Structure 1
Amino acid sequence: MPDVRLASSQGKWILLTTVLGSSMALLDSTVVNVALPTIGRDLGANLAALQWTVNAYLVTLAGLILLGGSLGDRYGRRKIFVLGVVWFAAASLMCGLAPTAEVLIAARALQGIGGALLTPGSLSLIQASFHPDDRGRAVGLWSGFGGIGAAVGPFLGGWLVDGPGWRWVFLLNVPLALLCAPIAVRHVPESADGRAHGRFDVLGAALGALALALLTYALIEARSGSVAVILTAVAGVAAAVAFVYVEKHRADPMMPPDIFASRQFTAVNLVTLCVYAAFGGFFFLSALQLQVVAGYSALRAGTALLPTTALMLLLSARSGELGERIGPRIPLTVGPLLCAGGMLLMLRVGPHAGYVVDVLPAVLVLGLGMVCLVAPLTATVLASVDTTRAGLASGVNNAAARAAGLFAVAALPLLAGMGPEAYRSAAAFDAAFRRAMPLCAGILVVGAVIAFTTVRRPAPDCRRPQCRTHGCVTSPPVEPGRTRPKASGL
């Protein structure tokens, strides 16, 4: 049984290294959007390259995050966590030194692999190391510090872009890793799941990532209407079908189809797809709108979005308690509708927009909507399956959220009619932004309708602190534990 106490020096070192590790991934998910206009100008990149700067990371992260969790179960959570930290830092160094947009995109894809190894392991190390009496408080501190990191991310990213330069958005991960990895090796006890055996679903992971990459490419390049784009789209659909087939017929699938036998789990994941697609599109385009159209600096643009995360950190616990009393149906209906209202209020943000009058009302309404839905959504996902499959359910939900954001960043500029050079023209981008925000709001309304019509069974009490003190706006938290079913065979 884990026996490290939180008050001990070892306990404090474990908490520090897990916070540092998770902060690397959280910072990366919140600071890059703020840097996009400067990256585009510096590297001479068009809008498609900026989309790939975000999506190359999401393709590999979403496609491999379930595999990353099962690797930790099998080979040791500390070992895979440290590997992820080192890999993430090396890829971040490549991003920071990238001479061209193409090199940056390739490095971002590698960074996503590191994130897939790192992200599931951070919370798992806490669960596997601390004495049961201290585990809840340790998880709460980990989640709270991580939420603070997520809140500071846009501000820090803007400061770096306006100061030392956008490359430091990525280079910052290197000293964090140099501090994090040695502490983990020295102070974190190794742990693994003795029940984990059998073969890994490498084929399923590869097909899933390939499908995401091909479909994303087809969406981003669809403006050209070339034969290559059509063939890529067909190949992407074929890879997705092959992924479903492999998962259905393997003895040890990465994403076992029978987990969707729970109607509640399926319904909540459909809500997740709608919600995080809208969030992904909103945060990608809003960071550009504030800088390209409203004339904000990178620092001011990053700071402008801080209230969303701050509200989540301050009020998520109350939202979770309300969800336990009244059930998840109302919060998961009202939350997306409030978020939709916040995105429509962003239509007030145009040239020379004032922060207090134009930006802040939209951000506050959006933040309140996120407060309403994020904690109940996470609790409902975990409550909709057997407790032995909580890690798998959470991993699937996290991957679904990231895939939704990936497709939104790929498809929304296309649907809004943004040309390759749209972000270089304030008038052109503003016009497209005004077409995009109603689309995001519409997706959220669809999510609210799904929640209202399908989410019925109240979620039982969820005592997990990560449900209540979660501050990342790009994905739900990952629950530690087994991220795949017990495998059979060798």
Structure 2
Amino acid sequence: MGQQTNAQPGPPDGLAYASARGKWVLTATVLGSGLAMLDGTVVNVALPRIGEDLGGGLTALQWTLNAYTLTLSGLLLLGGSLGDRMGRRRVYIIGVIWFTLASIGCAGAPSTGVLIAMRALQGAGAALLTPGSLAILQASFRREDRSTAVGAWSGLGGVATALGPIIGGLLVGVAPWGWRLVFLINLPIAVVVVVLSRRYVPESRDEQATGRLDVPGAVLASVGLGGVIYGLTEGPANGWTPVTIAVTATGAVLLALFLLVETRTAEPLLPLGLFRERQFTAANLVTFAVYAALAGALFLLPVQLQLVAGFSPVEAGAATLPITVMMLLLSARMGRLAARIGPRLPMTVGPIVAGLAMVWLSRVDAGATYLGAVLGPMLLFGLGLSTTVAPLTSTVLAAAPDHQAGVASAINNDVARVAGLIAVAVLPALAGLSPAAYADPAMMSAGFHRAVLIAGAVCAAGGLLALVTIRNPTHPATPAESHDHSDPALSCAACPVLAPHIKPR
């Protein structure tokens, strides 16, 4: 490549936020992370059309979501470690290209089997680019501008999350095959990201990183999780055959081996010592409950709205917009409030409020209108999540030593994603939604009502868990601490935690 396409080293003390190059670095990271965020929201809206076009029923739709989340969850920590060692810009660009090639494969998939395989490859690419986005900001900007840059990244990422379902609905509505455009939209964005990254983003790496990459841990975690999720998805849907039982048992054994390997590895992907801190463990358990409920409800909601209530793809896509708007408006304020009064009360009340919103969604049925049955629950949902996410993020970070803040936030990210994986696999079966329900609106509706009641109960249980396990700090946070802890929460707008894998400098 010519000299003009290769980024020059940044200033020794980092880039200024107000500089032209600083703005281009921010743009490259926002657009790159926006690929993964946009894809995560538009695909939900496209699920009914994918089912109509390719067939496969409800189980195939579960795997369309879970194949992506599975490889992303299993490889996320490894992706962050690769960036630290090989160069964050290099791994970030590789991840964007990988993700885009897999997106082309998704768009051209002739069957659900091929689509699921391409989604798994897409998740692996996202595992390379997702941790690199905020790590690049942390490494590129001077210390006094990092919070501003992260705050701008969070807000703009929230906009991408808000627009995703609407864009997805518009694309899906083009034609029965319009869902393929949902994946092709990634191409022009990826080209811009690669060009900007090569030209403006300075290369950085963790010069203190030593030892080998924990590849065995990553393999054991990914394959083990895949085996368990396979069993939880296929067993209830198609029966517990000897093959299904064997795969599930193998997955459980591999996960146990993963924990054993992590105790004996010098630089583990999952430092189990962090879980000796009660506050850290408690916050992650609350994360698991809240995001399992969130993922399960939002997986089934677009299907219910389109197949039962008769919403168009655009209307179904826009249905959750109030959640994102509420998050963008309230998350930082709730973070500052939690810093003053402590996280225990907000982390108790927030999940209970969100759980009540899920119960309220049980009114969505044939003939339901947006104003009459959807808007109220969405506003209440957004209020509950806004109250929960900021103190949850700050509690996780505060419970870990400063030098492990990056890996602590990455663990919390993975906990949220694994919770979503399990919820999408298990909730339909718990609610009595068999594969046949996808073709029967009455059966689908009855199962949806049971599912949102279960999700609401799980979410509220997360609040009760916070009540008995979360401790308030013994000293109040300073205004600066309150600001720093509330900013990252904005990136969570109505989607699983996108906390970075950052090595603080």
Instruction: Confirm or deny a common fold (TM above 0.5).
Output: yes
1:21 aligns with 2:40: no
Give, in whole Å, the separation in 2 of the partners of 1:102 and 1:160.
Answer: 22
- Which residue matches 1:166? 179
Among 268, 272, 275, which residue is 1:260 paired with? 275
Contact preservation (8 Å) 1:2, 1:128: no
- Which residue matches 2:8? none
Among 130, 143, 150, which residue is 1:119 paired with? 130
Q: Deviations over 1:227-280 (max 9, x none)?
A: 111112211111111111111111221101101111100000000000000011
The one-letter code of the counterpart of 2:483 is R
1:470 aligns with 2:481: no
Give, in whole Å, the separation in 2 of the partners of 1:243 and 1:341.
Answer: 37
Q: Deviations over 1:367-386 (max 9, x none)?
A: 10001001110011101111
1:189 aligns with 2:210: no
Contact preservation (8 Å) 1:247, 1:253: yes
In the TM superposition, what are the counterparts of 1:201-280 in structure 2 within 5 Å? 201-223=214-236, 224-280=239-295
- Which residue matches 1:388? 403
Contact preservation (8 Å) 1:127, 1:480: no
- Which residue matches 2:433? 418
Give, in whole Å, the separation in 2 of the partners of 1:386 and 1:463.
Answer: 19
Q: CA deviation at 1:424?
A: 1.8
Contact preservation (8 Å) 2:308, 2:365: yes
Among 22, 29, 41, which residue is 2:52 paired with? 41
Q: CA deviation at 1:167?
A: 0.5
Contact preservation (8 Å) 2:96, 2:125: yes
Q: How many pairs does the alignment contain? A: 483
Q: CA deviation at 1:470?
A: 2.5
- Which residue matches 1:488? none
Give, in whole Å, the separation in 2 of the partners of 1:137 and 1:249.
Answer: 39
The one-letter code of the counterpart of 1:312 is M
Sequence identity (%): 49
- Which residue matches 2:5? none
Give, in whole Å, the separation in 2 of the partners of 1:280 and 1:2.
Answer: 41
Give, in whole Å, the separation in 2 of the partners of 1:462 and 1:243.
Answer: 36
The one-letter code of the counterpart of 1:474 is C
Give, in whole Å, the separation in 2 of the partners of 1:9 and 1:365.
Answer: 40
Give, in whole Å, the separation in 2 of the partners of 1:467 and 1:189.
Answer: 23
Q: CA deviation at 1:46?
A: 1.4
Contact preservation (8 Å) 1:150, 1:472: yes
Contact preservation (8 Å) 2:131, 2:502: no
Contact preservation (8 Å) 1:148, 1:471: no
Q: CA deviation at 1:5?
A: 1.7
- Which residue matches 1:109? 120
- Which residue matches 1:338? 353
The one-letter code of the counterpart of 1:476 is V
Contact preservation (8 Å) 1:390, 1:479: no
1:139 aligns with 2:159: no
Q: CA deviation at 1:363?
A: 0.7
The one-letter code of the counterpart of 1:442 is A
- Which residue matches 2:213? 200
Give, in whole Å, the separation in 2 of the partners of 1:374 and 1:340.
Answer: 14
Give, in whole Å, the separation in 2 of the partners of 1:213 and 1:295.
Answer: 34
Q: Deviations over 1:33-74 (max 9, x none)?
A: 110000001001211110000000011001111111111111
Give, in whole Å, the separation in 2 of the partners of 1:393 and 1:3.
Answer: 25
Q: CA deviation at 1:226?
A: 1.1
Give, in whole Å, the separation in 2 of the partners of 1:415 and 1:89.
Answer: 35
Q: Deviations over 1:338-394 (max 9, x none)?
A: 011000000110001011111111111111000100111001110111111000000
Q: Deviations over 1:115-140 (max 9, x none)?
A: 11010110111111112232221111
Contact preservation (8 Å) 1:466, 1:477: no
The one-letter code of the counterpart of 1:463 is H
Q: CA deviation at 1:457?
A: 3.0
- Which residue matches 1:155? 166
- Does the residue aligned with 1:477 lie in a helix, a strand or coil? coil
Check 1:462–1:208 CA distance in 2 against 1; reply closer, same or farther (3 A cut). Answer: farther
Give, in whole Å, the separation in 1 of the partners of 2:380 and 2:294.
Answer: 13
Q: CA deviation at 1:466?
A: 3.5
Contact preservation (8 Å) 2:342, 2:472: yes
Contact preservation (8 Å) 1:381, 1:397: yes
In the TM superposition, what are the counterparts of 1:348-427 in structure 2 within 5 Å? 348-427=363-442
1:82 aligns with 2:93: yes
Q: Deviations over 1:448-479 (max 9, x none)?
A: 11100000133843433632423432212313
- Does the residue aligned with 1:421 lie in a helix, a strand or coil? helix
Q: CA deviation at 1:289?
A: 0.7
Q: CA deviation at 1:225?
A: 2.1
Give, in whole Å, the separation in 2 of the partners of 1:264 and 1:468.
Answer: 18
Q: CA deviation at 1:166?
A: 0.5
Contact preservation (8 Å) 2:42, 2:169: yes
Q: CA deviation at 1:24?
A: 0.3
The one-letter code of the counterpart of 1:205 is A
1:310 aligns with 2:325: yes
- Does the residue aligned with 1:25 lie in a helix, a strand or coil? helix
Give, in whole Å, the separation in 1 of the partners of 2:153 and 2:55.
Answer: 39
Say what the alpha-carbon RMSD is for the aligned residues.
Answer: 1.3
Which runs of no fewer than 5 residues in structure 1 stay unpaired? 484-490
Contact preservation (8 Å) 1:313, 1:471: no
- Which residue matches 1:294? 309
Q: CA deviation at 1:301?
A: 0.3
Q: Deviations over 1:405-435 (max 9, x none)?
A: 0000000111111111312211010011111
Give, in whole Å, the separation in 2 of the partners of 1:255 and 1:311.
Answer: 33
The one-letter code of the counterpart of 1:181 is V
Give, in whole Å, the separation in 1 of the partners of 2:34 and 2:418.
Answer: 21
